Amino acid sequence: MSSKAIQDVVICLKDVNVVYGNLAALYEVNVDIYKGDFLGICGPNGSGKTTLLKTIMGLLKPLTGQVALFGNKVEDKIPKETKFKFGYVPQISDIDRNFPALVKDVVEMGRYAKAGIGKSLTKEDKQKALDALKLVEMDHMLERPIGHLSGGQQQRVLIAQALAAEAEVLLLDEFTSALDFKMTEEVMELLDYLNHTHGITVVTVGHNLGLLRAYCSRIICIDKIIAYDGTPKDPELDVVINQIFH
């Protein structure tokens, strides 16, 4: 990874320590995530995966160390344009089945976030929302209530919402946990397509190691520290997995 240029670093964590009270959740974490990475983050329960994503999104402040997004330090004020480059895709279990919004409303929310709440959407905004839905192949369902969709379809709509806001980096936390294997594979295929053909950087936390290794170009294993950071095929990864999962 050292051959990549510094200007391609989209997320940089330097000597990051995160604590909850007196519990150390992340210890001396150093990670550079590059434009175009398809990164899978794995680790046992409680190893700090969600903490890492929250720290990247600025929801948690490190005790020590620095986080920079596109070269902007999080401790300084991150410019609005930089914030919009990051799309957090929540777990679908967070969606209420009776939530009355239609698919197109959910995706247009991505445009509202960018235009500013309370502003009305322009024709261009609506077109961008539709383009995002087309990209995830959900434009045929735009009038359907989001709660009536399958888990995999909802996940696609949430990815479209992030893309409608013109996110360049998608951060996903355990999106697979509410999906069956086929749906999970289909969403991974979509992420792979967005990564390869649209240059979207993907950072996904997951428990299914086989799937992460099949799709991701880079794997990070975390156990408070970064226990592994490299390619999915390196035999060293098996050694680390055996150590931290047993």
Q: Based on CB atoms, which residue is closest to Mg ion, 52 or 69? A: 52
- Total length of the chain: 246
Contacts of 196 (CB under 8 A, 6+ apart): none
Q: What is the largest CA-CA distance in the chain?
A: 55
Number of residues interacting with Mg ion: please give it, by CB under 5 A. 2
Q: How many CA atoms lie within 13 A of 11 on its CB side?
A: 26
Stretch of 22-30, 44-52, 72-80, 145-153 lying at the interface with Mg ion (CB under 5 A): 44-52
As given in the structure block, the two tokens for residue 49 are 């995966």
From residue 205, how far is each of 56, 229, 235 by CA, in Å? 13, 14, 21
As given in the structure block, the two tokens for residue 196 are 């390869």
Q: Based on CB atoms, which residue is closest to ligand ATP, 47 or 161? A: 47
- Site for ligand ATP contains 177 (CB under 6 A): no
| Residues pairing with 16 in the sheet | 29
Stretch of 43-51, 67-75, 194-202, 209-217 lying at the interface with Mg ion (CB under 5 A): 43-51
Torsion angle of alpha carbons 224, 47, 157, 191, nearest 10°?
A: 60
Q: How many CA atoms lie within 13 A of 39 on its CB side?
A: 27
| Residues pairing with 205 in the sheet | 41, 173
43 contacts which partner out of ligand ATP, Mg ion, none, CB within 5 to 8 A by kind? ligand ATP
Binding mask 12-51 for ligand ATP (x = CB under 6 A): --------x--x-x-----------------x-xxxxxxx
Q: Based on CB atoms, which residue is closest to Mg ion, 50 or 208? A: 50
6 contacts which partner out of Mg ion, ligand ATP, none, CB within 5 to 8 A by kind? none
Stretch of 48-56, 58-66, 210-218, 233-241 lying at the interface with Mg ion (CB under 5 A): 48-56
Residues that bind ligand ATP (CB under 6 A): 20, 23, 25, 43, 45-51
Residues that bind Mg ion (CB under 5 A): 49-50
